Structure 1
Amino acid sequence: MIIRKIAILIFLSCILFVPSKSFAENLGTTHERLKLFEYSFYNYDKKEITESYYRNAFGKTGVMLKKELHNIINNHKKLSYNALWEALRDTDEDPNNRNNVILFGSVAKFLK
């Protein structure tokens, strides 16, 4: 679960617009990325856990939001590369097919 939180924070730190694309192309790209963010933030059967996890960050902006997000992840558990792949089997499970994972940042689905 913490891997999903870290992935969300990494995503939030990314730039939504790609300079080499036209404005119209960027709108599509931005919409797709925001939908991926929405998918990642919504934890399906554990939505209330996700909401309580971020409760202290809701409604904050700027420095206060950055500080609160830091507080949320401050005691994260480090995973090895191999452990990360095992964790992704659970954190990125396709809600429509438990045999697949959905890669964050992509709409591609792969067998576990």
Structure 2
Amino acid sequence: METLEGNPYSRWVQLIRQQSGKPQDRFLLGTVTAPPPGMRVQPDHIRWELDAEDLYIAADWLEHERTVRMEGMGADMHMEIRSPWKTGDRVLLLSMNGDQQFMVICKVVKAR
């Protein structure tokens, strides 16, 4: 296994590439055309739009509830986490299985 180099994000991408071992798996940019529920994404350079059935996304990126305990507060707190996705957001996608499935990795922005 080769040594991973660069910042934490580039090392993470390198690790995913090493583990997948499939040349058809690739990273793409896309634009959110509809936020969850029923999320849809239009990948750059692909003619068709992806709907929720085509997408995998980490559960923590969707709306959910969580109970947290904060030091010094003395009680558990119940929190509602809202989804950060909005129409027009740019996202990083991992294309898998020859463009049959896609994983939404994260929201991306242009460096300024």
* Structure with the higher strand share, 1 or 2: 2
Asked which structure has the greater CA Rg, the reply is 2
Higher helix share: 1
